Homo-oligomer: A and B are copies of this chain.
Amino acid sequence: MSDHGEVAGDGQWGPPYLLYLGQATDDLAIKTARGLAFWRPEWCVGQHRHLDCRYTLGLPDMSFEQAHEAGANTMVIGTANAGGVMAPETVADIVEALNAGLNVIAGLHQKLRDNPYIVAAARRNGRVLYDARDFTRNIPVGNGRKRAGRRLLTVGTDCSVGKMYTTLALERSMHKRGLTADFRATGQTGIFVAGGGIPVDSVIADFISGAAEWISPAREDGGWDLIEGQGSLFHPSYAGVSLGLLHGSQPDALVLCHEPTRRHMRGLPDSPVPDLKRCLDANIEAARLTNPAVKAVGIALNTSNLSEHEAQAMCREISGRLQLPCEDPVTMGVEGIVDSLLACCAN
């Protein structure tokens, strides 16, 4: 579905998908596949895993040939290999999948296109390879000019606090209400879920806000672009990505995502997690540069490390303190946040 970061073949990558679990030995290794199976079950015809893989997504187990016969277009490699190195077994599996007629897409640090065996197999079979982290398309520099359409961006106190999940939950809820809304992907899993997008942390630094403008162009149909946030303005490693995304998105509405038991910024033991109010204020202040009318419409809390009672109490406390709906999208849904969005930003 996309034309960048690719070795081109006869067709295009896209669903239906075969999800590759391989030899996954922990939950993190199948995070991308799980995201696809959860958010786009209708796109996932099966899973492929080794005999010693203890994980399952509850999909039919298929060989590459079986998947191709069942209509799969593309195999998705989402496993995080130790040290970012692709295991020889994975390379062999990818070659076999290409031989069976599948396109292959991946979000690994090690690129498909850098492996000569994989590239040769793709060329031989006329298949497409797509590396979601490898963004080479030319896009314009951001221009900051106000464009038509309404946009919501999820922002976070930290990385990996549920921004993609929250954004997709908002899309699902809005669709159920009959509203027009489209998830706009900025990370690898999101791109596979959306069938397109830009991995905004992988563009050249000068083009961060341009990438955000490119994935959510002017729209005149009254619908919403729901843009997947990345990182945090308070993460010392990645805040530049978050700020460029914030400026380029020109959001009318922000949802702040937070994981309340996190003790420090992801990967940085010496960096404390910012206070919610301070984080929200900083995002609003920065967002005003390209959209002075920006409003916060809710807080999405990842309460997976809390008891149900604790989670409910914390949501109430935060909601009262910040005067915004506060919900865990997984256990409580996002109806309060969508209500707030519609109340704030109806036109």
Chain A residues at the B interface, C-beta cutoff of 8 Å:
141-146, 200-210, 233-234, 236-245, 247-248, 265, 267-268, 270-271, 282, 285-286, 289-290
Contact = CB atoms under 8 A, between A and B. Distances in A.
B206 A239 contact: no
Contacts of A282: 285
A137 to B, nearest CB: 14
A239 B205 contact: no
A-B complex: 10 closest residue pairs judged by Cβ atoms: A144-B236, A240-B244, A240-B240, A208-B240, A201-B206, A142-B237, A243-B243, A240-B243, A205-B241, A236-B247
Contact of A238 (B202, B206, B233, B265): B206
Nearest to A238: B206
A201 B205 contact: yes
Contacts of A200: 205
B205 A143 contact: no
Contacts of A236: 142-144, 209, 247-248, 289-290
Interface centre among A200, A204, A285, A290 (most CB of B within 10 A): A204
A130 to B, nearest CB: 18
16 contacts: A142-B236, A143-B268, A145-B268, A202-B205, A204-B204, A205-B208, A205-B244, A208-B241, A209-B236, A209-B240, A233-B243, A239-B243, A240-B240, A240-B243, A241-B244, A271-B289
A141 B236 CA distance: 10
A37 to B, nearest CB: 27
A234 B289 CA distance: 7
Q: Point out which of A146, A240, A285 has the most chain B C-beta atoms below 10 A from its C-beta.
A: A240
Task: Give the one of A143, A206, A247, A290 with max B CB within 10 A.
Answer: A206
A144 B269 CA distance: 10
A62 to B, nearest CB: 35
A213 to B, nearest CB: 9
Contacts of A245: 240
Contacts of A243: 233, 239-240, 243
A145 B271 CA distance: 8
Contacts of A202: 204-206
Contacts of A205: 200-205, 207-208, 240-241, 244
Nearest to A135: B204
A290 B237 CA distance: 10
